[in-house]
């Protein structure tokens, strides 16, 4: 059975961020992920991980002004210097926190800027992949659905894989979010099976609502068995909004016979 990590940006949100580590460990998780660590010093997060015997499996590159609505700057030609500074910052955090992979959010792009956005993204991913390769880290590119984030530039698996192939860096992989993929393209199990070698990380939530498995239309019983059969060895990040409280929503683990 695949391994599951608690996404601390989405789970245990009734608690302050630094208290969510203990809550995740108490719930049985052995690993966590989150969007960004940059509001805290690396030593502070490292202490929370160590105290609760948790591994950090993923965080994102800096993504611009998140509170202001930005969702990545990797496509913005006027912000290449900022992107590169963010890569260096992310690597320093990842190394301090023993985090093996970093995710890149491409950003929101107007249709008329698609050509320059593509060129900029490829250039930035090439730079980031080379920097992460020197540090022994994996770089991920994540498609995000355009219903939740209108205008998000990389929004389908095929598009992301084409960009990954164009960059042609050995440490650049696909972050496959089942929730986003269900909204944009469906055909989940076949897409995963066909592209398994290119997938570095998986995330989950059910649809509609982005709640825990079992609350929507996605057949997670089938998908978990499929991933097990395929031998997927990576982590699956539980990046969903609990329908009630986080603890109440963890019943899906038992329903799928999952032991953390």
Given phi > 0 = left and psi -120 to 50 = alpha, else beta, which region is 100? Answer: alpha
**Which residues, other chains included, contact 255 with Cβ-Cβ below 8 Å and sequence gap of 6+?**
213, 214
Number of helical H runs and strand E runs in the chain:
9, 8
84-112 in b/e form (b: 16+ CB < 10 A) is eebbeebbebbeebebbbbbbbbbbbeee
Q: Tell which residue, 175, 166, 151, 153, has the closest CA to residue 103.
A: 175
- Is 85 catalytic? The answer is no
Which of these is catalytic: 19, 166, 193, 239? Answer: 239
Residue 78 burial class via C-beta count within 10 angstroms: exposed 0-12, middle 13-18, buried 19 and up: exposed
User: Are the beta carbons of 141 and 171 closer than 8 angstroms?
Assistant: no
142 in active site: yes
Exactly one of 142, 185, 193, 212 is catalytic; which is it? 142
Q: What is the largest CA-CA distance in the chain?
A: 49
Chain position carrying tokens 């995963």:
192
Question: Residues 6 or more apart from 85 whose CB is under 8 A from it?
Answer: none
Which residues are catalytically annotated?
A: 142, 239
């Amino acid at each position: 059975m695949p391994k599951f990590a608690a996404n601390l940006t989405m789970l245990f949100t009734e608690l302050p961020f630094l208290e969510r580590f203990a809550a995740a460990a108490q719930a049985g998780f052995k690993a966590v992920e989150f969007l960004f660590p940059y509001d805290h010093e690396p030593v502070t997060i490292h202490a929370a991980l160590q105290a609760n015997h948790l591994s950090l499996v993923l965080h994102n590159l800096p993504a611009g002004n998140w509170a202001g609505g930005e969702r990545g700057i990797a496509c913005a030609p006027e912000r290449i210097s900022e992107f590169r500074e963010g890569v260096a910052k992310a690597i320093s955090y990842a190394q301090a926190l023993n985090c093996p992979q970093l995710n890149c959010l491409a950003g929101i792009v107007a249709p008329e800027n698609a050509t320059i956005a593509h060129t900029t993204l490829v250039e930035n991913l090439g730079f980031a992949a080379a920097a992460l390769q020197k540090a022994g880290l994996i770089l991920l590119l994540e498609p995000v659905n355009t219903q939740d984030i209108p205008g998000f530039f990389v929004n389908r698996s095929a598009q992301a894989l084409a960009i990954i192939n164009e960059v042609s860096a050995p440490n650049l992989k696909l972050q496959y979010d089942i929730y986003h993929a269900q909204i944009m393209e469906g055909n989940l199990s076949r897409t995963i099976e066909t592209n398994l070698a290119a997938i570095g990380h998986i995330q989950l939530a059910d649809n509609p609502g982005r709640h825990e498995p079992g609350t929507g239309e996605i057949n997670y019983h089938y998908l978990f068995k499929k991933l097990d059969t395929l031998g997927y060895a990576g982590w699956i990040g539980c990046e969903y909004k609990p329908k009630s409280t986080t603890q109440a929503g963890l019943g899906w683990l038992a329903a799928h016979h999952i032991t953390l």
